[in-house]
Amino acid sequence: MRFSTIILLSLSFNIAMACTSQEAQAIKTVEKKGTYPVAEYTKKNKLDNYATAVFAGGCFWCTEAAFERIKGVVDVISGYSGGDESYPEYGQVGAGETGHAEAIYIYYDSSIIDYETLLEVFFVAHDPTTLNYQGPDYGEEYRSAIFYKTREEKALIDKVIKRTNEGPLYPNPIVTQVQPYKEFWVAEAYHQNYYELHPDQGYVVRVSRPKVLKVKKQFPYLIKKKYK
């Protein structure tokens, strides 16, 4: 009788410990979901039927704002791409722990604007000739990168890089990384639409706004009416 009681108590303890461990893991997963896979965002916002592009060009506040102003662009979200860690967080990315770059995920209507034109905007929206930094921001997370999903996209990227290198836009060669797309993690909520929500913030005024204005000046015919 005593032996059976001991066994039952032991089993109860082990089950309780297993449940506690699983609960802790579940809590940990929920806590990390300040970021989440882009597929969840796509499904939630019914964006499945739009074409997409994934670019990294320094601080995502800047590039998100620049592309939001382009005709045919339906939505732009800030996030992380190019690394290996699941559910990367802003602090981890900034510390260089995950290999991700600050990036943007663009949903666009391909009947209004094409991928090649988006590439042209991308090479104006940031400086693609500086390795692992943009303006005051230094680190691999600020690298210039394009994450392609198809061979057709890769061919267009090569074409536009060649054309831009041969043109007058930059005196130095482009150092943009061209990589196959793996995953995109939507950044924490406070990063989304940062430019619009904090127009007087110091970084936005000094760094982001000049980049947005540069795009508007270079491509006046592509700017949505409400942003002119």
- The question of whether 62 is a catalytic residue gets the answer no
| DSSP-derived secondary structure for 61-118 | HHHHHHHHTBTTEEEEEEEEES-S-SS--HHHHHTTSS--EEEEEEEE-TTT--HHHH
Find the catalytic residue in 38, 53, 54, 59: 59
Local structure of residue 185 (DSSP, 8 states): E
Nearest residue to 108 via CA among 66, 78, 151, 67: 67
Local structure of residue 205 (DSSP, 8 states): I
From first CA to last CA, the distance across the chain in angstroms is 84
> Residue 105 corresponds to which tokens in the numbers above?
């995920």
Catalytic (active-site) positions: 59
